[in-house]
Structures are given as structure tokens and as C-alpha cells.
Structure 1
Amino acid sequence: MAATATIDNATKIISVSSDCLPAPVNFGTFPNDNNPNTIVEHDWDHSFLYRGGTFGITRVFDDNQYTHDGFIRSITISTNDLTLFTNNQIDEGDHLLFVFSDGLKKKFLYKGTTFTSLSGECWLATDQRLDLIMETQESTPVTGTYEYYDQRNGRGDTPLGAIGVSGNGVMIFNPSAGSGLNPPSGFSWVAAGESTFVDTGEDSCGGHPQQQGMYHYHDPHFLDCWKSGSSMASYNDYYGATQYNGNNIRHPDGHSKMIGIAFDGFPIYGPYGYGTPFDNLSGTRPMRTSYRVKDTEAPGRPDYGNTTDNPPAGTLMEDWEYVEGVGDLDIHNGRFTITPEYPSGTYAYFLTVDDTNTDLAEFPFIIGNKTRETINAPSDNGSNPVQQGGGGGGGEQGPPPTLSFTLQPANVTVNANETATFTVTKLVSPEDGPVTYQWYRSTDGGFAFAAVTGATTNTYSVTALSYMTGYKYRCRIAGPIGAPQPASNSPLDSNAATLTVTGAGGGGSTANRFDSTSSTFDSTAQTYDGT
């Protein structure tokens, strides 16, 4: 079967089915001298929110205006906005992407309250102003609007076990061997790549099974087998239809194709991206990792050496650190960029290899020590029990999210034949995400509510007729969509808002009360709420 996937374009929920076997790509012999496990078929079906073509969760400060004067674009910060900085939801060292109304997309490194005049950096100049340093100067102040994307949901450590799925249905794991293979106490071996000091029995395609037999990848070496004999090209037209100098895992312009999807919803690409993130004419090259081996040993680590008791630098997970600016990619091993699939832009992960010898994989290989958004992995994710030959342990699922309304529907008074509009705004805590909406109407003062057909956004508008005075409207939200678990209080109903219709107007006859041309009464969806 390998893998299949379908996506609901309305909700952006992608549903993936796989048997976790690498077909049509070959795999090695298991068990072998360094891996005692047998490959076992693991059938699973999993649905999650697909974020390809997005930069994450769209945000604005309370005042979404900017003023560009000189080399600075200034943004007003309200007292409410300031708490995002003081509570470290926006933290020093974070990357903030701003998408401006003039079409510019630009990433800024937040420097806290430290003054900066370097283009591509920003700082909190006062408690009321965030200054973004630009490359271009405006001699006369220019204003506009913006939206931004931050890293507040990217603080959690990348979990063990499956963190994504590759294009042939094989699970993608992080770089760690967990507690397997007897590392020094309190540390974990790097499971794969040229820096590994332990042999996990990895085959020539870069894969191996864990204790329960789930075959998986840790690093980019599987691409060699994908290209060999054009196996993936014959399996999927996405790979077979185009190629770059004989490489069917790259687009004709040299940019890598997608090789999988992370379980936080973002696409994963091969090693090659554009030289400049938002310029598809800037050439392509391997994306450089921003992880480096620490100059000195981590606290409690045995001295760097060349034995199991004193393993070489870079062979333990704790030997590596993210260093801002030394590579193309962020702490998550991704970046904001355009790609052939997403010419308007997306956030994407990239496989990392040595830029002078692309046969050598470079840490963290696929996804960094922290994911961009929260991982929503299938229940059979290979993380428990501890795995032989790569990965182990696995984190516990956190508490369920909660839903709330930050804006309740307000009572509306309109003249007959005018449009009445009701609006809600929701909040999902602690991590925002999409929800479903359904509006309900009561014609009897709030005793019974019926679903309004087609009213499935956060705003509902209706033409008010005179007999509708006293009708009540409320909205039900459910979700978050694609989250590992629903909110503890899902579904949640808003307060009921009352419609008052004044003046004479059409539709005064009660004979028209349930006329579908003005409103829909759906008794099959009717519920009774004595409250």
C-alpha cells in the first residue's frame, strides 16, 4: 500500500494512511549484526492540520498600523501587547515574520530592549513602540498595515518517535536514539548521520526498525535510494514528471521537492532552497544548518575523546547547540520562504547536508531540537517502549486545550429589511488553532434553538423582517481542528444575542415566518436548552 493522502481544502485537514513500509524503495536485511529487530507492517490512519502555504498562525498587535520613517518601521504597542513581551511569549532571539500591506515579507530578529540599527533586527524601543530596522529609507513617512508570525508555539522540545511522514509513507524520527544503546548517564546518542558513534544497523537507504518493528528514517540518506532506479519517480508523478539534471527529487529550477510533511503540518523539503528566501531567481543551493558542536562539554558530560566512555564531540545530542546566524535555517531547521509549490510563501523544513559534500548528512538532519508548532503524531508513533537502533522514550501528552469567546455576539437593532450581523471571536488556549462554527436561531425567546443551514463562519448576517423581532442567535464552536485532543469544553456555546426589528417592513405576515427565502428552519437539527 505504501501511503495515500487526501486533503479537505475547506478545513485544511490532511488524512494520511500508511503501512510504514518503504515500498517502492528497497530496504536492507533485518535483523542484522547491529539491529535485532524485524520490520513489521504498521497500518495507521491519521488526520492533522496541514499548514503548507502558510507561515503559521496570523497575528496582529492591537493597532495593526506601521509608520516607515527613515530606516525604521515603527509599530505602536498597547498595554495589552506589552504583556506578550514581558511574559516571554515574544522572547529575545525570536524570529518575527512581518507581511506588510505594500507586499513586502521580511523576517526580523527580536533583540529585546537592546538598541539595534542592523537591518533585519527589531527591538522594543519603548513600552509603546516596536522598531523594525529596514534596508530601505523613506524620506517622507509612509504608513500601512501588517500581519506578523511569531515563535510562541515553538518552545517545546521535539518529541521522540514519529514527528512526520515521508512521501513513501515511512515515518520520520528526530536525530536522537533516546535512552537506547547505553549512552553516558543523562545523555542520548545521535542516532544517525556521519557524527554518530554507535551502529544502529541502518541500511543503505538510511532506515531501520525500532523495537516494535516500525521502519523509519532519521537523516537524509534515504534520498539516495529514492533517486536510485527512479523508484520514487515511477511511484508518484510528483517526482516522475519533472527533474533537475537527472535528479527527480528536485524541480527543474533546482529547488528540492517536498519529501514529506511534519506532524505539526508544515512541509519538509530536500536540501536545496533558493539562495534568497523570497527570490526564486537567486539560484539554489543546499540550506545550511545553524547547529554547531559546542566548544566545551555540556555540564556533566564526559570529556571529549574517542571511546564509549569519552565519546567524540558531536556524538551526543547534548553536544549540539543552535547558533543564530551561522546558517540559513532557524532553531526548528526551517525558514520562511517561497517554493515552487508555494510562490506566495510558506514556512518549511529542509533536510541538511554538508554544502560542499552533499553525501554527508548534517545535524539535525530533518527537524531541529524544537518544532515550529506542536507535533500531532498518530497514536502508533513508535516512541514507546524504548527503541533499539534509534529513538526512544516519548513525551506525555499535555493537558487538553480550552475554548473561550473574546467577543460575544451583541444585541442588534435594525429597521425592517435591513441586514443584521452577529459576530464572535474565539480563543484557543494555550495554543491558538482553527475551530468549527455553527450559528443557531431561537424563535421562541430562547427556549429552543435550531441550526441555521450554511451559517458556519464566525459572522452571521440575516435580512431582518418585522416578525423576527425577539429572535435570538448564538454560535457554537468546536475544536481545535487537527489537534491531538479536543478542548476540554468543546463544543462551547456563546451567549445569545437578541434581534430587535423596528419600523414597518415586508414580511410582517406570520405566514412567511418559516419561508426559506428569508431564513431556514431545520427541525432535524433542533436542540432544547432549558437554560
Structure 2
Amino acid sequence: MNRDAAWLVVVLILGGSILALLNSEEDNSNLINIEELTCSPGEVLVSNTSLVEGYECIPFDPHTISHTHPEPVLTVTYVVDDGTLIVVTGSVDHLHPDEITVRADQGGSMSPTTTQPNINRAWSLTLQSTADKVYINITASHDLEQTFSETILVEINRTTSDETNGSNNNTNDDNGNSTDNNAGNETDNGTQNGTDNSTGNETDNGTDEPTGPTQQTYDSTDMGQFWLDVFRCQPGQNITSVDDLTTTAVETHECSVSITLNETHITIVTNGLPDHDFESTLACSQANDCTRAQNYEWTIPRSPVNDTTGDHDSTNCPEANGDYECAAALGEVAIAINGVPFYGPEDGPGGDAVASQHGAYEEDRQPIELGVCHAHNGQGGTFHYHADANCLHWHPEEGETMLDYDISTPAAVAQNTANGSHSAVIGVAMDGYPIYGLWGYDDQMNIVEMKSSYKLKQGETGYNGIDDYIYVQGLGHLDVCNGHFGPTPEFPDGIFHYHSTMMNGEGDMGFPYFLLCYHGETFLGESGGGDDPCAGYGETWGPGIGPPPDGCGGGPGAQLEDVELVSSQSVFSPYTLMMILLLISALIWRKRK
């Protein structure tokens, strides 16, 4: 074979190899494209020949991977019985707590009561029974894997003998037995007043029959039981359907509240719907964006403590001078006992929504209208109170409706609930301290309408509603956060608490209406990312919700906008490049020869 023939063979071999490699890359282009595609977080890419693309993204199920987990470990933390309702709280130890079902079975014809742990693995069940003896079997199960915890038996004995009272301590059932034991011990202990005290019934005082109902009191250093008793709309409670009075239809909205506790935290999960008839107002009537169920979850301290750290950002509460953590100017600042959020004083553009409602301020950037109880619906169907909220304890008389609750003037609002008594609790602040209605005790223990200590500044102050007011100590009854320390019916030894206010000490607007800062420490920095400007993906921004904050990219797993994907078809493999180099080398060698 001469040199030309040998050269031809080399060229044919190298050229054929290059063509074969290029063709192989082209044949696999679809596979490479699929591998380069990404799904949303929590999804995986799978083949689907029925679709044009040939693939689809589906939710990732970790149980498609062959693995098993240990059975769930169930713990019961507290059992509280008031004689009718039984609240059981606890926790579950499992790798996937959101897949666990906790069941409480009372036996007989009653259906089991079920719940699921929250993200902190805590759970709460509310059951109803008036029986003298109640036996509750509680289990936790992973239904998909068919694994079960050991069953925990909770025994509640409401019989009246002293021996029975001693056995009830195992279920932490102190509150439930206190009233029953008074009557049950009358005949046995008539001549043995010294042993009566063993039941801990301080309200008995040796008398056989009480003179009237007594106010239950609580420990201000552990608010868990108090909030379990105060919050409405919990499982097992009587929940009545309510109507949005803005619409022409008769609707059946139902509130929902779930409370779980651990040693330090109280978690409150609600759907944000009220337990009274309400008005969505303009968002509904003009934009068809009416009140609808939400998915709220808040965490507050179980044992509130005063904030003594100082050096806080004072942007939203300049009068506090950094001594206390500011509440949000816009959005949630507290939680009503029906699970509806309390909002700060400002409206969407930043003006004073409540002052606008009563003609003390003219909102010129967007129309604002508050409905009954100084509440309305915001964007996305989020119902909330801006002030007042005392209709939580007001009930229409025969022939009246919720629209008869008088909000015509700030002075008229307090008269809706003026009955000569201290107002009941209407909500809880994010620091765990209670919020009471408009009526409270002054320094002489007189029942008075509580007045705020804020007044309008003189002159122009700009558009921000908060900047319009200055705090004047002693102008009203309350401090810079709109609260004070003192006794309440539930805490006779005193507790720091806030009040709803409609007027200040001079009879003008009662800014900030609920609260402006937190006298106690909060957990706000522990959830939602704290100071992280990119926190809230999937809740406040993300696909289907809204754009990300500036500088936060596209969220978890997303690509930056300036990154361009380059197709693998435009890039040669190392083998192809090697063949091309060999061909070029052969050509150079041929030329030199």
C-alpha cells in the first residue's frame, strides 16, 4: 500500500469516527435536555409518553424509596378537665411528624378524635364527656407504613371520694375536679373542716352552698391553661356558622382554632374566620375579593416575661425610644380569641384607618371602610380587626342583628359593652400578654373606660399615621405600648395587659387602638426568618403568590435571571475533540510530507 492509500484510510477512519460521535450526541439530545430540566422544590421529573414533552413533574414521595422508620413515640404532656371538655396535649417523636395521626378513642359508640402534630411535633386534642369516669386510649400511627406507637391510657375519675381525688393527680386533672369535689365532700367533711383544705378549694370557705358563681383565676407565670380556656372555635366546642353581611348570599363561614403547647411555647393555628356575622366591605363589594379561610400559625410565649433588653428598632414606635420591640405598622400585631388577627393602626397606604373611619383624617390614596366591630377584609380574603373587637362579647337582642353594634362614634363604641364590669379578654399579643376590652380598673379599682395616652402632634407630620401621634405620660390610663400592670378578674394579683382603646384622655382618637409595641419578649425573631429579608418563600412570596423581595432571586432551587442555560448539543464531547485534533494533526503531517 502506497502512502496516498494509507493517508486515505487514516482520513476515512478519523472522519467516520467524528460523524459517529456527533450522531450519538444528537440521538441522546432528548435525554440530556430532560436531565437539565428542573422541577419545583418537592417535585421530581418522570417520563410520561402521553404528553408532548414526554415527561412531567410530580410531587416527590419519599416512600417510593424503599425505607422504613421506627414506630412513632407518643408522649402525653398535659390533661386538663373542666367537667365537660377534656384537653389532652403532647408530642410525637418521628422523622415525618406531618405524616403521623394521633387518635383518641373513648370507646363505646363514639368515633375516635384525630389530629396531626404541628411542625414542632406538638399536638392537642379536645374531647367532650360528662361521665363520672372517662377512659381515653391515645395512639400515634404512621398510616402509610402501618406503624403504631404504644397506647397511652388516660383515666379521668370525677367521683367525689377523697381517695379518688388522690388518684386523679396522675392525669393533671386539678381544674376539672375542683368544683365537683365541693359538693361531693359536704356530708363527709361537715365536722372535719381541717381536712377540707386537702382538695385545694379556696372558694369553699367552710360553707355548704356557694352564694353565686365565682371567677376562675389563673397563674400568670404559666398561661397555657388560660389560653386553652379562653380561645374559641377549638375542636369539640360549639361552632356556629356566620354570614358575610357585605354579600347578598347567606353564607356559612365557620371559624377554626387549634392550640398546642410545649414547656415554653404556645402554637395557635387558625383559619382566620370570625365567629360573628361580619362585613368584608370594599374589597368584596368592589373587587369581589371577599373574606375566605386562611392558614395562620402563630407562636407566643407560654410564660410571658417583660422585655428589658432595649435597643430595639423604633421605626414603627418612635415614642418607645427603642425600649420595646415595635409591633408591625401594617399587618398582624395580635390574635383575637376567635383566631382572627388584630392589625396595626395603619391602612395599606400608611394612613390611620380608624381615624379615617371616624372623619378625623382624610384618606386620599385609596378608599378605606371598616365594617362592624372596626374590621374588614384585606387583599386575599384576609379578615382582620383594626380596632375595637369588643363585639366578640356582644350579642344581638331579639330583633337585632350584628349591624346594631354601634360604631357611629368612638364614644358610642364603649357603650356596647358597658355593664359595670371589667371587660373580658379579646385577644393575645405576640408577647403572650392578654388584651382586654375597653373597660378596666383604674388606680382606685373603679371600672372606667380605658383611655390611651397618645395625642395628635401639632403641625404637619407627613403621611405616616404613626408619626402623627405623640405619647404623653398620664394623659390616659395606659403606657407607651397601650397597656399597664394591674389586677384583672382572672389575675387578681396583677399581670401586664393591654386594652382596646377608642379614645384618649382628652376624648380624641384612641390611637394605637390595640397596641404599638410589645412590653414582653416575643418569638417573632425565631420564625419567618427574623431579619432575613428573603424569608417567607412560599408564604408571602413565590410562585402563585408574588414576586420576591429585592435581591432575593427566585427562591429555593431557582436560577438567577442572568444565568443562561447552554444546550449540550452545542458543546463537543472530549472524544470528539480528540478525533478532530488527530485529523488536523494528520493533515499537517501530510502537508509536510
Aligning the two structures, in what range does the TM-score lie when normalised by the shorter sequence?
0.3 to 0.5
Q: TM-score, normalised by structure 2?
A: 0.37
Q: Which has the higher contact order (CA 8 A, sep 6+)?
A: 1
Q: TM-score, normalised by structure 1?
A: 0.41
> Max radius of gyration: which structure?
2
Is the helix fraction higher in 1 or 2?
Answer: 2
Is the strand fraction higher in 1 or 2?
Answer: 1
